[in-house]
Structure 1
């Protein structure tokens, strides 16, 4: 009986170690051998969500690579930024899309909501730190382990197929052909509401924006925040007062390139928040000319300030 118990325990331990190895070793290999390549002549990297994904046709902006991805919170952008900057020393300038909806608690769902986490976590889990795992586990423990399993399977497939190349798989310009019928672009006709509700701020998303900025400056990159054009009737423009307050208070040392009101017609928009290919064509040509004219020139890169010990919650007071 004693011998049988020892064998059972030994078998269980070996099984646990085998499962642990299957889960961890592929993740280690993905982290070590992953490739995040961009064009050699591309010195400007743009990160963001669907607004910038649809606005910047980087075939029209030779020095820029659009690495934006739809429904991507700064939590996942941070993982991506670390890999692209460490593997592409030709990048000298980083543009980070910063628009009105990125301060909203909607971004929390984009970070740990199961639909988004199950999609993004397997892609970037290998590049996360312990604090990143703790954050997801804290806010969605119910589905976090499920996502761990998805990531383990994804990494195992990558390792077995020796497919570590992320190039072209983490975002890029997205062309939208059509346009929904939109009302007048005159704000007076839309009665855009202002809001004094300050209980809808995603402190997590803002903290990860600071992590991105600090990482970029530590890598000696010049960082800009940039806002793509939004239709005057876009619903999230109601939080402009809060948006401006947050930007000035917590990211005021970072130059803000604001094209929120860049003049476009209704048929240049796919919807209130996104440009279609016609709008992107006009806007991208304009941005390229601005870059040629020195829009991104600066004597030295700005130095980021840590947000970790600062109370974003004071915005709610």
Structure 2
């Protein structure tokens, strides 16, 4: 009986070790051999969610690579930033889309909600730290282990096929052809009114934006926050006061390039939050010119306010 128990325990332990090895070794291989490449002469990258994904046609902006991805919270962007910056030393400048909905509570769902986590976690699990795993486990323990299993299978497939190349699979410019019918705007510009119910924020998303900024600074990159155009009637513009307060409180050390009010016609928007290809062409051409004019230079801190005011004056003409 004693010998049977020993054999059973030994067999169970061996099985657990085998399962653990199958789960961990492929993850280590993916972490070690993963490839995140951009063109060698591209020195500017932009990260963000669908707003920047649809706004920046990087075929029209020299030396810029758009690495934005739809429905991506800063938690997952952080994992991506670490890989691209460490593997592409030619990158000198990092732009990070920072728009109104990125402080909203729904960003929490984009981070640990099962639909989003089961999609994004397997992609980036191999590059996360212990604190990242702990965060997801604390907020959605019910489905976290399920996502661990999905990630393990994904990594095993990558390891077996020796497919460690993430290039072209982590985001890019997304061209939208059409537009939804949008209401007309009066000449003065018709903005949504602030809602007293929109007072909560995603502390996690703000925290990870700070992590991204600090990582970029640690890698000695020029880093900017940038806001692409949003329709005046976009619902999340109602939190503008809170958005401005958060920016000033936590990111006052980072230059903010604000193109929220860049003049676009209704038929240049795909919907209230996204540009279609016509809007992207117009806006990307403008951004190209601004970069050529020195927009991404690092001016003295005292000149930052006058620069932003100049851009706003330009939009009003």
TM-score (norm 1): 0.93
The reply on whether 1:170 has 2:173 as its aligned counterpart is no
Matches within 5 A, 1:97-246: 97-186=97-186, 192-197=192-197, 199-246=199-246
How far apart are 1:188 and its partner, in Å? Answer: 6.9
Conserved? CA contact 1:136–1:144, under 8 Å: yes
Structure 2 CA distance for aligned equivalents of residues 229 and 191 of structure 1? 14
Q: Partners in 1 of 2:148 and 2:293 — Cα distance?
A: 47
| CA apart distance, 1:186 | 3.4
Q: Which residue of 2 aligns with 1:68?
A: 68
Q: State TM-score, norm by structure 2.
A: 0.93
SS in 1 for 2:262: coil
Deviation of the 1:189 alpha carbon = 8.0
On the 8 A contact 1:222/1:300 being kept in 2, the answer is no
Aligned to 1:22: 22
1:115-168 Cα offsets, whole Å, 9 max, x none, are 000000000000000000000000000000000000000000000000000000
Q: RMSD across aligned C-alpha pairs, in angstroms?
A: 1.4
Q: Is the 8 A contact 2:45 2:94 kept in 1?
A: yes
State whether residues 95 and 225 of structure 1, in contact with CA within 8 Å, keep that contact through their aligned partners in structure 2: yes
Deviation at 1:184, TM superposition (A): 1.2
Instruction: Tell me, in whole angstroms, the C-alpha distance in 2 between the residues paired with 1:41 and 1:162.
Output: 27
Q: Deviations over 1:71-124 (max 9, x none)?
A: 000000000000000000000000000000000001000000000000000000
Question: Unpaired segments of 5 or more residues in structure 1?
Answer: 302-317
Shift of 1:195: 3.1
Return the offset for 1:298: 1.6
- Tell me, what secondary structure is at the counterpart of 2:7? helix
- 2:4 matches 1:8: no
Q: Runs ≥4 in structure 1, deviation > 4 angstroms?
A: 187-191
How many aligned residue pairs are there?
A: 301
Unaligned residue ranges in structure 2 (runs of 5+) = 302-317
Change (3 A) 1:142 1:262: same
Measure how far apart 1:37 and its partner are.
Answer: 0.1
| Cα distance between partner residues in 1 of 2:259 and 2:156 | 43
